[in-house]
Chain A
Amino acid sequence: MNKILLIIQREYVTRVQKKSFWIASLLAPFLITAIYAIPIWLALRDKEVKKVEVLDQSGILEAKDFTDREIQYQLISGDLETYKKTFAKQGFSALVVVKKNILEDPRAVQIFSEKNVSLPLKSSIERIVQNKMRAVLMQKAGISERVYEDTQVDISGETITVSEQGKETSSSSGGAMILAGVMGFILYITLLLYGSQVMNGVIEEKSSRIIEVIISSVKPYQLMLGKIFGVGLVGLTQFLLWIVLTIGLSRVTSVLYQPEVKKEILSIKDKKVQEAVKEVDKSDISPMEEVTKVLASTNIPLVIGCFMFYFFFGYLLYSSLFAAIGSAVESSTEAQQFTFIVMIPIIISFLMAQYTMQDPDSSVAVWASMIPFTSPINMMVRLPYGVPTWELICSMVLLVLGFLACSWISARIYRVGILMYGKKVSIKELSKWIFYKG
């Protein structure tokens, strides 16, 4: 037992000492933070205001209709041909022409520009003209502006889960789906990543020929388990670093941004514009609210605990198979022909997870979350939607049993494989090794 600890220690320490480990551990939280921090930063940054000329031949548009923070509209009148020649020289990005027949033909809007018009600019113009047109048409139909505005309701349903004890929790199916997807994906990537690390570790020991020295000191299964656990602990360390650093960085960025957001809102003088900004901000914030809602409605310790459990045992199961493959070959390139055997169940479970995400209580999803090979990813995907306790326990027990079975088979292959040199092995050969004596 003491020797397994020594092996775990070596595997752990040599990997954690590597620069690549720290680069990956530090970079990922920065990237995650950047993914949402950069758009906010871009939004807060002083924008270069685009200027657009609007030639309204229909006469329905008024200056107050143009509400856009990023684009400055200027209503003009006169001859289209002269403006066409001059708008670019005068520093306008585009020239918009609203034709006389706009009320009859929704396509009677033309946008002239030197370069291609950006999509946001185009949709901004379309939105403004469309809103005004609707209002005019409503008025014509005898519906007052007030009635029109009152009808513009925005429905946002609240989902509530009722537990067996009748306890109600406000939930978010959209958010649950995001959480499920993210966890499933992280598991998928890490199973492959750390599994192949184990395999390469085994190949390294075999090809550098240190293996015979080591197994004259320890039993092959001790070496295999030590390596698997050591690399697994590296994985858990990396997760912890990711979680802690991401939370820390998010806190720091949100503190940095807080005053700026307020300042931005206050600095806008025009009341109308200010309202529009609030409107925009509301829609910006709603995904954040969604996330908060998910976090509030999910049992965080349970999810993190299960995530660690399913990562660790799923990893143990797969990496023992990766170790067996590593033992049977002499180089990573030679290993490729065997890795697909192990990759297939991982990829299948990832594909099944897409389905599980759509329908987490279907019988396929339940089975996928029970079978040890597919359960790590699929159970984590089901978890945010709520899983009966007995199913969870059943799946965990099956996973542990699956790991024990796989590691037994792998250890049998491993002890033969690590001493086998200069021989191309087939899958048939590998299965024979399982039944070799001593």
Chain B
Amino acid sequence: MILSIQDVVKTYSEHVALDHVSLEVPKGHIFGLLGPNGAGKTSLIRIITQITAPDSGRVIFDGAALSERHVNDIGYLPEERGLYKKMKVGEQLMYLAQLKGMSRSEAQSKLKDWFVRLDIKEWWNKPVDDLSKGMQQKTQFIATVVHEPKLLILDEPFSGFDPINANMLKDEILAIRDRGTTILFSTHRMESVEELCDGIALINHANVVLTGNKKEVQNRFKKNEFELIFGGELPVENESFDLLGTEVTQEGRQKARIKLHAHVRINEALGELISHVEVYSFQEIIPSFNDIFIEVVSQKK
């Protein structure tokens, strides 16, 4: 575990932002931090980045209680992010890198690598004011990762990126993960959760309501539902399943959503189906994170 949050409480005057939150983030994972607006994600992130301190509870980072020296091991890209407008890109990144404890020469060589990698060498002496929004976001991303942190916290990293840059960013995130960095990834975009995350935690109303490995969470939310593409007449009255709905696919075939009865095994159901219709395809429905998110959040209300 790179990060272990134990029973953390944070209150702002009358408002409880985090109510006895505990969470484990495994090393080397891309870990999705999900939750509706105002659920407490930002409060949690600010505690991990030591911008604020918890009222009670403990945060263990890489085996030791979180302390000031860990600041240099964490990279943080906030959702609302900015740069000094009047400063030149290179100077600015040098400054931010040195604030993360890098030496001048180290920062310079690492930054040069990044500028070459992202093919933005000619930006070094440009004032930030002259950059487009996408360019500024690339700059911010470099500032977040240049000191090679053990934990990278990205808050809505894709917002504002065009598809090409978003793809590039995704590749960089995966490459960074493969080098052993843990990434805590806060987002509303469920498709990027499905695509990138190894594990997730869902925060709602100041509590962690769901956490675990991606596959494991999805399995937990499987409802024993299947998608069936078939030919012929599906029996509405039968022993093994309920028919939830049918539609016609683009190829003109019939598609149905069925839910198996509690004790019926898949093979039994299939056997019954085969005896009635022509089965072209039979597939378990894995719940999307979108569905899980909506289900959990609306249920908790």
User: Which of A's residues lie within 8 Å of B, judged by CB?
Assistant: 3, 6-7, 10, 14, 204-205, 208-219, 419, 421, 432, 437-438
Determine if A419 and B51 form an interchain contact, defined as CB atoms under 8 angstroms apart: yes
Give Cα A215–Cα B81 distance, bound, in whole angstroms.
Answer: 12
Picked from A7, A213, A218, A419, the residue with its CB within 8 Å of the CB of B81 is A213
Give Cα A173–Cα B55 distance, bound, in whole angstroms.
Answer: 61
Determine if A14 and B86 form an interchain contact, defined as CB atoms under 8 angstroms apart: yes
Chain A nearest CB from B68 CB (Å) reads 8
Main secondary structure of the interface of A (DSSP, over half): helix
User: Which of B's residues lie within 8 Å of A, judged by CB?
Assistant: 13, 46, 49-55, 68, 71-72, 74, 76-78, 80-87, 95-96, 98-100, 140, 143-144
Chain A nearest CB from B133 CB (Å) reads 13
Picked from B55, B76, B98, the residue with its CB within 8 Å of the CB of A216 is B76
Determine if B53 and A438 form an interchain contact, defined as CB atoms under 8 angstroms apart: yes
Across the interface, name the chain A residue whose C-beta is closest to B50.
Answer: A216
Picked from A6, A7, A212, A432, the residue with its CB within 8 Å of the CB of B80 is A212
Determine if A212 and B51 form an interchain contact, defined as CB atoms under 8 angstroms apart: yes
**What are 16 A-B contacts defined by CB distance under 8 Å?**
A14-B84, A208-B85, A209-B78, A212-B51, A213-B96, A213-B144, A215-B51, A216-B50, A216-B51, A216-B74, A216-B76, A216-B78, A217-B99, A419-B46, A432-B13, A438-B54
- Given contacts A208-B85, A437-B55, A217 and B80 within 8 Å (CB-CB): no
Q: What's the count of A-B pairs with C-beta under 8 Å?
A: 68
Give Cα A3–Cα B74 distance, bound, in whole angstroms.
Answer: 16
Give Cα A43–Cα B198 distance, bound, in whole angstroms.
Answer: 86
Across the interface, name the chain B residue whose C-beta is closest to A10.
Answer: B95
Chain B residues lying within 8 Å of A211, measured Cβ to Cβ, are 82
Determine if B81 and A212 form an interchain contact, defined as CB atoms under 8 angstroms apart: yes
Chain A residues lying within 8 Å of B53, measured Cβ to Cβ, are 437-438
- Given contacts A14-B86, A438-B52, A217 and B78 within 8 Å (CB-CB): no
Most buried by B among A10, A14, A212: A212
Chain B residues lying within 8 Å of A216, measured Cβ to Cβ, are 49-51, 71, 74, 76, 78
The 8 closest A-B pairs by CB, nearest first: A438-B53, A209-B82, A208-B82, A217-B99, A216-B49, A212-B78, A216-B76, A210-B82
Give Cα A219–Cα B50 distance, bound, in whole angstroms.
Answer: 9
- Given contacts A216-B51, A216-B71, A438-B53, A210 and B98 within 8 Å (CB-CB): no
Across the interface, name the chain A residue whose C-beta is closest to B75.
Answer: A216
Across the interface, name the chain B residue whose C-beta is closest to A215.
Answer: B51
Chain B residues lying within 8 Å of A204, measured Cβ to Cβ, are 84-85
13 further interface pairs, Cβ-Cβ under 8 Å (given A3-B99, A205-B84, A209-B81): A6-B95, A6-B98, A6-B99, A204-B84, A210-B82, A213-B77, A213-B96, A217-B96, A432-B13, A437-B53, A437-B55, A438-B52, A438-B55
Give Cα A204–Cα B84 distance, bound, in whole angstroms.
Answer: 8
Chain B residues lying within 8 Å of A212, measured Cβ to Cβ, are 51, 76, 78, 80-81
Chain A nearest CB from B86 CB (Å) reads 7
Chain A nearest CB from B222 CB (Å) reads 39
Chain B nearest CB from A97 CB (Å) reads 69
Chain A residues lying within 8 Å of B51, measured Cβ to Cβ, are 212, 215-216, 419
Chain B nearest CB from A11 CB (Å) reads 11
Chain A residues lying within 8 Å of B143, measured Cβ to Cβ, are 213
Give Cα A208–Cα B80 distance, bound, in whole angstroms.
Answer: 9
Chain A nearest CB from B71 CB (Å) reads 6
Most buried by B among A208, A217, A219: A217
Chain A residues lying within 8 Å of B74, measured Cβ to Cβ, are 216
Give Cα A214–Cα B81 distance, bound, in whole angstroms.
Answer: 10
Chain B nearest CB from A425 CB (Å) reads 13
